[in-house]
Amino acid sequence: MNKFIRNILLVGMCAAPAMVYAWPWSQDMMNQPSIKPQEGTPAPFAKRSVPVSGIPTKVANRDEAKGLKNPMQPTPEVLKQGKNLFKIICAACHGLAGQANSPVSDKIGAIDLTSDYVQKQLTEGWLFGTITYGSAIMPAYGVPGEGGGSNDLSPEERWYVVTYVKNQLVKDAAAAAQTKSQP
C-alpha cells in the first residue's frame, strides 16, 4: 500500500471518533429543549390532582420529636394497621395489652403503655421519637444504618403504632381484662 494512502487512512481513523461524537445522538441531556427548574411560570395542577404531603420525621433525636404532630387520624384502618404492627413489634416486651405483662417485661424494664403517664403526659411526637431512636433498653425501630433494630419501621408505620397506642390500646386492654375475668 502506498505510504500516502496509509497516512490518509490513519488520519481518517483518528478523526472518525471526533466526527461520530458530533452526531445528534451525542447531545448532552442538559442541553435538550426543556423547562429548567425554577424557569418560567409553573403549569396549573391537573383537575382532580391530589397533593402529596410528607410526614414530618426529620428530627435529630428523641427529644426533638416531642413537638411533632401526628399526621394520622384514628380511622378504623389506621387503628387496625397500628394494632397489627404493635402485636408484631411491641407486644414481645410490652405485652399484647400494652401493660408490660409479657414474660420479659420485668427483666428489661418495659413500661405500661396504658398508664396515665404514657396516655396523658407523653406526646405523640415523644412516642414517635422513642420508637424511632429507642431508649435505654428499647432498640431503635426507625434509623436504618445507624444501629437501628432489625425490624425498622417506615415513618408511616411508626405513626400507625403511635395512633394505636394513644387512641385504642387502653380500650383493647380493658376489653381483654373483661374477657379474661368472665368465667
| CATH number, domain with residue 153 | 1.10.760.10
Cell representation of residue 61: 433525636
Cell representation of residue 82: 397500628
| pTM: predicted TM-score of the whole model, two decimal places | 0.65
pLDDT of 145 above 60: no
Does residue 52 form part of some domain?
A: no
Does residue 16 form part of some domain?
A: no
Q: For residues 128 and 63, is the Cβ–Cβ distance under 8 A? A: no
84-132 pLDDT tens trace: 999 998 888 898 888 888 888 878 888 888 889 988 999 999 999 998 8
- Full domain range(s) for residue 142: 64-181
Question: How distant, in Å, are the alpha carbons of 100, 147, 176 from that of 131?
Answer: 16, 13, 24
Does residue 135 form part of some domain?
A: yes
Count of structural domains within the chain: 1
Q: For residues 133 and 141, is the Cβ–Cβ distance under 8 A? A: no
40-76 pLDDT tens trace: 777 777 777 666 655 556 777 888 888 888 888 999 9
Does residue 54 form part of some domain?
A: no
Does residue 94 form part of some domain?
A: yes
User: In the 8-state DSSP scheme, what is residue 118?
Assistant: I
